[in-house]
A and B are shown apart, each in its own frame.
Chain A
Amino acid sequence: MASNPQTDPALEALVGQKYRHGFVTEIESDTVPPGLDEDVIRLISRKKGEPSFMLEWRLKSYRHWLTMKEPKWAHLRISPIDYQSISYYSAPKSKANAPKSLEEVDPKLLETYDKLGIPLHERARLAGVAVDAVFDSVSVATTFKERLSKAGVVFCSFSEAVLKHPELIEKYLGTVVPYTDNFFATLNSAVFTDGSFVYVPKGVRCPMELSTYFRINAANTGQFERTLIIADEGSHVSYLEGCTAPMRDENQLHAAVVELVALENAQIKYSTVQNWYPGDENGRGGIYNFVTKRGECRGANSRISWTQVETGSAITWKYPSCILTGENSVGEFYSVAVANNYQQADTGTKMIHIGRNTRSTIVSKGISAGHGQNSYRGLVKILPSAVNARNYTQCDSLLMGDQCGAHTFPYMEVRTPTASVEHEATTSKIGDDQLFYCLSRGISAEDAVNMIVNGFCKAVFKELPMEFAVEAQNLLAVSLEGSVG
């Protein structure tokens, strides 16, 4: 993991002084009482000092949301969510209740960090110890911001972007995921508090992988974050998102929206490793993860690639999609989704082919263990205008044990005779034969299962940036611990 930012000496030094500089920011101490109405939305907008177009957009979204109902089509069992009991302007964890030091953190959680090989200083932050404000320090920000600004790349919090680049926000916000899109996206549009913003100007190849690790606020921005990434003509950007360690949060709603726009000849690669708290072995607690992620290949020859490793959350409802508008544009979706214990995952993608010669690839690997239920849901839609469009879909399911389930819901709508669509699907069980073969070569049951599962996921892992791939493998091992043997 040599290229991991954690090992950067400057950062290391900075992190070393965290206890001296610990402070609590205004945002984190600021919590609005539970409940949602127009006044709350006005309050959020005012606190953030937003221009009036933002407030209007929020209110428009809210009014529309009132007319909507929660979607019921997913293969999920969800306890009812009381939207009036949620506080819409606060950090996900109140700092007052946060552990003061690592000694106060659940030892089981620390054990997990140990297995993941997360450095000590990182653990404190991930466990929500009240020291992470130091990461907001200007000097961390400057090391990478300088490099990026030299290249002309804008990478900042969504709130900052609203203030500093309102013209970009106004031009692109809601153009990929409209405020009317779906129940959760509409709710997000009304109440989102922060998130990330990226703009890569024409012809620029972003000089580094952008990650939420760098954009400090993101680690603690509420349940409703919003990300907007714009790759202008001929630009390239790779964005890494994810918290790679379990959070302590319980039964929390997480409804994020991510919008990607790729203009002519631009490329966006968006990688996620999601490991929100999945609930305990009995299915108590855990994050409800309802996320709308969509990218539009707006310009000709553009490319958007989603890679996700989903091991966390009690419920995952997520379909990173591509709208292939530009001619010759390419959409890709590589996914590993794990459902262990009582986790439920309903995830997949949509590939909407509009432009000529557009191509899409879908590789989905679902792993079910314990009582986990894993569904792949994918739509390939090829419009009459998408002459010569091509899609290849491969979705494989791996079952561990006999209490879990794997389900596949592929939808295809092809409206042009020149299109070619291929679909392959397999379901397999971690075979006793495979396991015994490994054991009989001296390999432990745990290592054998990891090996088999990683082999199963190989096609997806190879799409991840290097340091992420290593973390993803470790994470998978932790998530599936004790599932076999």
Chain B
Amino acid sequence: MLSISNLHVRAGDRQILNGLSLEVGAGEVHAIMGPNGSGKSTLAQVLAGREGYEVTEGSVSYRGKDLLALPPEERAREGVFLAFQYPVEIPGVNNVYLLKAGLNAVRKHRGEPEVDAFEFLALIREKMKLMQMDESFLSRGVNEGFSGGEKKRNEILQMSVLEPSLAMLDETDSGLDIDALRVVADGVNSLRNPERAIVLVTHYQRLLDYIEPDRVHVLSGGRILKSGDKSLALELEKRGYDWVKQEAAAA
């Protein structure tokens, strides 16, 4: 599904990713963990197509396509989804309107008929139930006046509507209380299926109690230093990141 090879990325004169390689297969859930400033969010942003980063070396192949050659909206239509760490507010633009426009752009790309307002409303009501979102959400502006938790739930709601093949969740757990975390995790789990790959970017093992990953990677200094199964996350929780760095330095 996703194959990242020797990826080097610079922002301005700062080298952020330094030869990162990663393989993610369909149906898998990968967790990328690492200390602050290790390049986790940059990876997610670069894959989604954010401007301001320069790829100096390496390649990213997504379902056999050169992902980096596609503009961001094409990536989204091809099934790449990023749940933002800090979802932005767009005043006056209705939440539902944005999401419907997104869904129809994706459907059009796939050669499927666009959904009309009624079909969409039925669809979104069903998905909102899953995310335990209030009816008033329908009439509000995009993330306008949302609490931190509401914003994160809204991201997962969007994911459930857009049904991406590759979903990247950038610190979706940050700023959530335990109840909200459970709702978000349940939402994500319900979206796990054999065709979909999910990449979780997170600081903490906490999220992984709820969403069990197939693989865990430690990102530090712009590279993946160590990979393992979910037990690695538990070990990181206990021991921190330094031992991984030392191990990598020794190797």
Q: Which residues of A approach B to under 8 Å, CB–CB?
A: 431-434, 436-445, 447, 451-452, 454-459
Pair A440/B92 contact, Cβ less than 8 Å: no
Q: A455-B91, A455-B93 are in contact. Are A440 and B49 (CB under 8 A)?
A: yes
Q: A436-B50, A436-B72, A455-B141 are in contact. Are A441 and B92 (CB under 8 A)?
A: no
The interface residues of chain B lying within 8 Å CB-to-CB of A439 are 49, 71-73, 76
**A432–B51 Cα gap in the complex (Å)?**
9
Say how far B105's CB is from chain A's closest CB, in angstroms.
4
**A431–B72 Cα gap in the complex (Å)?**
16
Pair A443/B73 contact, Cβ less than 8 Å: yes
B60 CB-CB contact with A under 8 Å = no
Pair B92/A456 contact, Cβ less than 8 Å: yes
Q: A431-B88, A451-B97, A455-B141 are in contact. Are A440 and B105 (CB under 8 A)?
A: no
Residue of A nearest to B93 (CB): A455
The interface residues of chain A lying within 8 Å CB-to-CB of B162 are 441-442
A437, A451, A452, A457: the one contacting B87 at CB < 8 Å is: A437
Supply 6 A–B pairs (Cβ within 8 Å), ascending by A: A434-B88, A438-B98, A438-B102, A439-B71, A444-B105, A451-B90
Chain A facing B: main interface SS: helix
Say how far B59's CB is from chain A's closest CB, in angstroms.
21
Say how far B120's CB is from chain A's closest CB, in angstroms.
14
**A439–B84 Cα gap in the complex (Å)?**
13
Say how far B223's CB is from chain A's closest CB, in angstroms.
25
Pair A441/B84 contact, Cβ less than 8 Å: no
Pair A440/B88 contact, Cβ less than 8 Å: no
Q: Mark contacts of B47-73 with chain A using CB atoms, 8 A cut-off: 1 yes-contact digit, 0 otherwise.
A: 011111000000000000000000111
A437, A442, A445: the one contacting B84 at CB < 8 Å is: A437
**A439–B67 Cα gap in the complex (Å)?**
15
The interface residues of chain B lying within 8 Å CB-to-CB of A441 are 76, 98-99, 101-102, 105, 158, 162
**A454–B97 Cα gap in the complex (Å)?**
12
Pair B77/A440 contact, Cβ less than 8 Å: no
B106 CB-CB contact with A under 8 Å = yes
Say how far B54's CB is from chain A's closest CB, in angstroms.
16
Q: A434-B88, A441-B98, A441-B162 are in contact. Are A454 and B76 (CB under 8 A)?
A: no
**A434–B87 Cα gap in the complex (Å)?**
9
The interface residues of chain A lying within 8 Å CB-to-CB of B97 are 451
Q: A441-B158, A444-B73 are in contact. Are A451 and B88 (CB under 8 A)?
A: no
Pair B88/A437 contact, Cβ less than 8 Å: yes
**A452–B49 Cα gap in the complex (Å)?**
20
Complex A-B, nearest 4 residue pairs according to Cβ-Cβ distance, in ascending order: A455-B92, A441-B102, A455-B93, A442-B76
The interface residues of chain A lying within 8 Å CB-to-CB of B183 are none
Pair A442/B51 contact, Cβ less than 8 Å: no
Pair B51/A458 contact, Cβ less than 8 Å: no
**A432–B82 Cα gap in the complex (Å)?**
16
Residue of A nearest to B158 (CB): A441
**A444–B52 Cα gap in the complex (Å)?**
19
B109 CB-CB contact with A under 8 Å = yes
The interface residues of chain B lying within 8 Å CB-to-CB of A437 are 84, 87-88, 90, 142
Interface centre among B49, B93, B141, B142 (most CB of A within 10 A): B93
The interface residues of chain B lying within 8 Å CB-to-CB of A454 are 92-93
Pair A456/B101 contact, Cβ less than 8 Å: no
Q: A437-B90, A439-B76, A442-B109 are in contact. Are A451 and B50 (CB under 8 A)?
A: no
The interface residues of chain B lying within 8 Å CB-to-CB of A438 are 90, 98, 102
Say how far B124's CB is from chain A's closest CB, in angstroms.
14
Pair A442/B106 contact, Cβ less than 8 Å: yes
Say how far B89's CB is from chain A's closest CB, in angstroms.
8
Pair B76/A455 contact, Cβ less than 8 Å: no
The interface residues of chain A lying within 8 Å CB-to-CB of B72 are 436, 439-440
B51, B92, B106, B141: the one contacting A436 at CB < 8 Å is: B51
**A436–B103 Cα gap in the complex (Å)?**
16
The interface residues of chain B lying within 8 Å CB-to-CB of A442 are 73, 76-77, 102-103, 105-106, 109, 162
| B33-50 with Cβ < 8 A to chain A | 48-50
The interface residues of chain B lying within 8 Å CB-to-CB of A455 are 90-93, 141-142
**A437–B88 Cα gap in the complex (Å)?**
7
Pair B91/A456 contact, Cβ less than 8 Å: yes
Pair A458/B92 contact, Cβ less than 8 Å: yes
Q: Mark contacts of B128-161 with chain A using CB atoms, 8 A cut-off: 1 yes-contact digit, 0 otherwise.
A: 0000000000000110000000000000001000
Say how far B154's CB is from chain A's closest CB, in angstroms.
11
**A452–B101 Cα gap in the complex (Å)?**
13
**A193–B93 Cα gap in the complex (Å)?**
43
Pair A459/B92 contact, Cβ less than 8 Å: yes
The interface residues of chain A lying within 8 Å CB-to-CB of B50 are 436
Say how far A250's CB is from chain B's closest CB, in angstroms.
35
Residue of A nearest to B84 (CB): A437
Residue of A nearest to B99 (CB): A441
| B86-125 with Cβ < 8 A to chain A | 87-88, 90-93, 97-99, 101-103, 105-106, 109
Interface centre among A455, A458, A459 (most CB of B within 10 A): A455
Say how far B168's CB is from chain A's closest CB, in angstroms.
10
Pair A443/B87 contact, Cβ less than 8 Å: no
Excluding A442-B103, A444-B105, 17 further A-B contacts by CB distance (< 8 Å) are A431-B88, A436-B72, A438-B98, A438-B102, A440-B73, A440-B84, A441-B98, A441-B162, A443-B105, A445-B73, A447-B101, A451-B90, A451-B101, A452-B90, A455-B90, A456-B92, A458-B92
Residue of A nearest to B101 (CB): A443
The interface residues of chain B lying within 8 Å CB-to-CB of A434 are 88, 90
**A67–B114 Cα gap in the complex (Å)?**
64
The interface residues of chain A lying within 8 Å CB-to-CB of B88 are 431, 433-434, 437
